[in-house]
Structure 1
């Protein structure tokens, strides 16, 4: 059961189209998995449509009263319009193909929002594997992250923000247990050490490097901007 969702402000910005592209991508991927957020997005979309129709008209009443079809300096091709309407009524919704990816011994389904996004080669570091998505969005990095069974990420905080969407498996940290579909947004106010018993695959968006806080992993902090 999905327990962690984007908040209302994020979903509204998603519907309004004001999120950064990478953030919109990961929110869209969560919505695909989450019936609760699908309903929220549906409601917000309807509200946005109603607000658009309730907006002030471009023309004043005087303009509309004086308007005449004779003022329009173009011709309608009614046959073409009728053909387009007929074609639209017979159209069939095309559902994007489901894609599966295997890394180590884990096979998982790619969110449909990622179908057209190219993936770079997996980079392996012990029980952690990462495949950067070829998705240009200023300083944001978007990646697939696989942690093998009984693996963990060293204790760290965040210089910027990090959004994690769990696509397969589960993991836990000092703040709780997370399962498939959970959406987690962390920043410099959070310090944690994610660990997984069964293994997991995540979609992540990061705006800056991790900052390791304990043990020998702190030696990697000077290289943080290259490895996040």
Structure 2
């Protein structure tokens, strides 16, 4: 059962189109996997649509700005042009996109499957490939960890989002299942590890900071490899 979800504030911003691409992709993918959040997003969309199409504005017509009136006329003309276009009625079936890893084949959520993925880099039992998105300091990746693998204990100099797509992993806070949407920041230390292997969509906006052992040697170059 999925226990970790995006906040209501994030979902409202997602519906309004106010989030960076990677974060919006993660929420859309989570919504595809989570019945609870899908219903909540549909309710937010319905409410916003109702406010847009049925909301009343109380503006005195004698003092309404001329440019605002012109904007309204232009919008009405644009809407008329759109609704006069021929509509294609043929339904194109969605093509399921599968991702093969560790002798498994996983159906990727549509929002993730639509992205272009770079090449995988391997470090022991952990493999990562970045999605080719122009997101400024943010980095979106597909990450998979082989059975028995773990990422050394670390905290975060920014935030880290993990959407579990397949398999399970656990850390100091508990065990996660497909669909779990986990957001962490500098307040959290954890050591993710998996018994049977897992596949994740990840998003970070800064380097991880490793706390123990030889992994601490990566901290000076963390900004270059995150």
Query: If the length of structure 2 is used for normalisation, what is the TM-score?
Result: 0.86
Deviations along 1:54-111, one digit per CA (max 9) or x if unpaired, are: 1426783899xxxxxxxx9xxx9xxx99974xx53x7244343111111333322221
In 2, the alpha carbon distance for the partners of 1:107 and 1:154 equals 27
Other-structure match for 1:38: 38
Look at both structures and tell me which one has the larger radius of gyration over its CA atoms: 1
**Which residue among 84, 103, 121 is the counterpart of 1:123?**
121
Q: Which runs of 5+ in 1 are unaligned?
A: 64-71
In 2, the alpha carbon distance for the partners of 1:24 and 1:211 equals 25
Q: How many residue pairs are counted as aligned between the two chains?
A: 211
Other-structure match for 2:180: 182
Other-structure match for 1:114: 112
Deviations along 1:117-152, one digit per CA (max 9) or x if unpaired, are: 111111111100001111111110000000000110
Partner-residue secondary structure (3-state), 1:40: helix
Other-structure match for 2:161: 163
In 2, the alpha carbon distance for the partners of 1:201 and 1:212 equals 21
1:12-51 correspondence to structure 2 within 5 Å: 12-51=12-51
Residues 55 and 112 (structure 1), Cα distance of their counterparts in 2 relative to 1, 3 Å cut:
same
**Which residue among 123, 134, 137 is the counterpart of 2:135?**
137
1:88-103 correspondence to structure 2 within 5 Å: 88=87, 91-103=89-101
In 2, the alpha carbon distance for the partners of 1:55 and 1:225 equals 50
Partner-residue secondary structure (3-state), 2:165: strand
Higher strand share: 1
Q: Which runs of 5+ in 2 are unaligned?
A: 65-72
In 2, the alpha carbon distance for the partners of 1:220 and 1:109 equals 33
In 2, the alpha carbon distance for the partners of 1:174 and 1:81 equals 53
In 1, the alpha carbon distance for the partners of 2:166 and 2:210 equals 25
Is the 8 Å Cα contact of residues 97 and 112 (structure 1) preserved in structure 2? no
Residues 82 and 180 (structure 1), Cα distance of their counterparts in 2 relative to 1, 3 Å cut:
closer
Other-structure match for 2:57: 56
In 2, the alpha carbon distance for the partners of 1:135 and 1:59 equals 46
1:147-162 correspondence to structure 2 within 5 Å: 147-162=145-160
RMSD: 2.3
Measure how far apart 1:7 and its partner are: 1.1
Other-structure match for 2:6: 6
Partner-residue secondary structure (3-state), 1:195: coil
Partner-residue secondary structure (3-state), 1:192: coil
